[in-house]
Chain A
Amino acid sequence: MPRLTIDGREIEAKAGQTVMEAAREHGIFIPYFCWHPQLSVPGNCRICVVGVDDKGGEWVDIACNMPVSEGMVVHTNSEKVRARRKATMQFITLNHPVDCGICDKAGECTLQDYHYEYNGERSVSVDAKVHATKHHDLSERIVLDNERCIQCTRCVRFTREVSKSNGLGMISRADHSLVRAAEDGSFGRDPYSDNVIDICPVGALLSRSFLHKARVWYLKPTASVCPGCSRGCTVNLWHRRPEWRLKAPGMRTANESIDRVTPLENPAVNGPWICNKGRDLAALLGRARAEVAMLKGRPAELQGAIARARALVASARRPVAVVSSWASNEELAAFKASLGARFATFVKADCQPEPGEVVEDALLIRADKNPNTAGARALFGDAPLAIPPDADLVLVWGEGLDFGLIPPGAAIIHLNAWLAPENGHADVFFPVSIQTERDGHYTNFAGVTSAFAKCFPKAAGVADAAALFPALAGAGGGE
């Protein structure tokens, strides 16, 4: 039985063992990648280098392929070994993408472990870490990881200085300090609470609705305008980058949905903030869509519907239009240019405040829950909606009109993006695109105009209102 010394410890090995096997049997650790106790010894990774004392000084070679011999003196952590191991690590990681943050192996990866141990600098921290609460529910919308928190108090000061809910505070002291919501629940009622997610400089405050949904570099932001009220805050709509499209079956929706909404800083309108309603645009814009044209409630080809509507427009003696305050300036201008002279036109509010919604406040939220009332009124005036009883054709653009206001004998042309029972009551119904399917502008209550851009293609049966109106006027493009 050969006796040898490893790191100053004398051990008795079995004949025919390698230094690697003998060391492991005696609880001495030598790092390895390519070696495996059940596999052959290829000796290709070179990370298991050890030093052996010799007359001419210390020589180094790989432990996995080195037979033990009587009296050999082995070093697993000499200066020479450390230098060789570090050089080997640098070689192995030469082309490594360092994408540990999104790699499933992270946390149980030998390369990662060895990098910290042999390639990089070890942590200078010697004290045990203070453990704090993880996955703490700060509100129904926001989850807090207190171990990631660096106690900068940005979130706390936001609730004091901007949203003024005083919903957050720093509880306790020193390394036990914790961000906590006030016991009176004021943070849960703060309509601007999600801004603390953006201003958190670390990963302590996270959106529950976006949690583990996507790595941000797989997404791209498209500039847009929040349609939630007449403030018209500029926002970024984040959606899947085309080059990172998910290819699994049934992923079309995931590729063409809004994954999150963040403010697009704009000193003229909203500064760096938006309200929580703006964060939830995916739900507002993701409602069930109308995608098929209809004649009196029966599905029809788009071209057939256009021909029927054009005939109604041509024969009407007293046509009235109720235009949408969710339409873009471009669409409204197209209506005015094509049909404006033919129709008596009113502007309608498509949306009203929802129950429980903050109707109006001093910071951003406006009582008018439509993005382009100002743009529509600039073209069509602000006469109160009153459909004359002798109207024989009513064009209803967008949702929110009580069809009971339409004279019983009048024909109805209806444009709507969403599924609704009224759609089937119209003589001609057109499904139309929403703002994520086209470029455009809205003008906010103060007269500031902001642009939004297309994110997704529209479905085949859906029309763009701006192209539809010239066709209805018979000015070409109809067939």
Chain B
Amino acid sequence: MKHLIPDFEKMKERFPAGFESSLVLPCLHRIQADRGFVADEDIDGLVAYLGVPRVQVEEVLSYYTMLRREGIGRTHLQVCRNIACSMRGAEGVIEHACKRLGVKPGETTADGQFTLSTVECLGSCGTAPVMMVNDAYHENMTLAELDRLIEELRQP
């Protein structure tokens, strides 16, 4: 984590002094972008760097589904399961993805290619159901589009 401190210092400039706890979230994002997840040693390092109580880092980590404590597959499929997406077919999308990939939400395929997650609102209710493929939004998802995406992403 120490090699990220120059990045943290740049982020710090955007906050008034005394707002170290506001840096917890952007710093965790940066750590996850670097390592793929947040390890125990990252929490220790961040607590030491920011001087915030450890429990505040634990709270942020447990609150957001987007923050991970373990590594995932090369492609991360995140399907929203909140109300707008559910009403427009997200449950079918999740069920279909499970069947196609042979995993349950939260699991990774044996070849390490896909991790399937269900997540809270992605803020795109107008184009529900929504699925994220890594950082990209795929809106108005259909089962056919899901099949097409999985085939495309399976290409080596």
Contacts and interface: CB of A to CB of B under 8 A. Distances in A.
25 contacts: A160-B53, A166-B55, A166-B56, A167-B55, A168-B55, A169-B55, A169-B56, A169-B59, A171-B58, A171-B59, A172-B62, A172-B63, A173-B62, A173-B120, A181-B55, A182-B55, A182-B58, A183-B54, A183-B55, A183-B58, A184-B54, A184-B55, A186-B53, A186-B54, A186-B55
Contacts of B55: 166-169, 180-184, 186
Nearest to B59: A169
A150 interface: no
Given A173-B62, A183-B55, A184-B55, 19 more contacts: A160-B53, A166-B53, A166-B55, A167-B55, A168-B55, A169-B59, A171-B58, A171-B62, A172-B62, A173-B63, A173-B120, A180-B55, A180-B58, A181-B55, A182-B53, A182-B54, A183-B58, A186-B53, A186-B54
Interface in B41-79: 53-56, 58-59, 62-63
A454 to B, nearest CB: 43
Contacts of A183: 54-55, 58
Nearest to A167: B55
Contacts of B63: 172-173
A333 interface: no
Question: Nearest 4 A-B pairs (CB), nearest first?
Answer: A166-B53, A182-B55, A169-B55, A171-B62
Interface residues of A, number: 15
Interface in A155-207: 160, 166-173, 180-184, 186
A161 to B, nearest CB: 12
A205 B120 CA distance: 30
Interface of B: 53-56, 58-59, 62-63, 120
Contacts of B56: 166, 169
Give the interface SS of chain B, mostly helix, strand, loop or mixed: helix
Contacts of A169: 55-56, 58-59
A167 B54 CA distance: 9
Nearest to B53: A166
A438 B150 CA distance: 82
Nearest to A185: B54
Contacts of B59: 169-171
Q: Which residue of A160, A169, A186 has the most chain B CB atoms within 10 A of its CB atom?
A: A169
A151 to B, nearest CB: 13
A454 B46 CA distance: 53
Contacts of B62: 171-173
A171 B120 CA distance: 16
A229 to B, nearest CB: 27
A450 B155 CA distance: 80
B71 to A, nearest CB: 21
A96 B125 CA distance: 54
Nearest to B43: A183
A38 to B, nearest CB: 52
A156 to B, nearest CB: 8
Contacts of B120: 173
A154 to B, nearest CB: 15
Nearest to B120: A173
A7 B31 CA distance: 66
Contacts of B58: 169, 171, 180, 182-183
A170 B55 CA distance: 8
A100 to B, nearest CB: 37
A377 to B, nearest CB: 40
Contacts of A172: 62-63
A180 B59 CA distance: 9
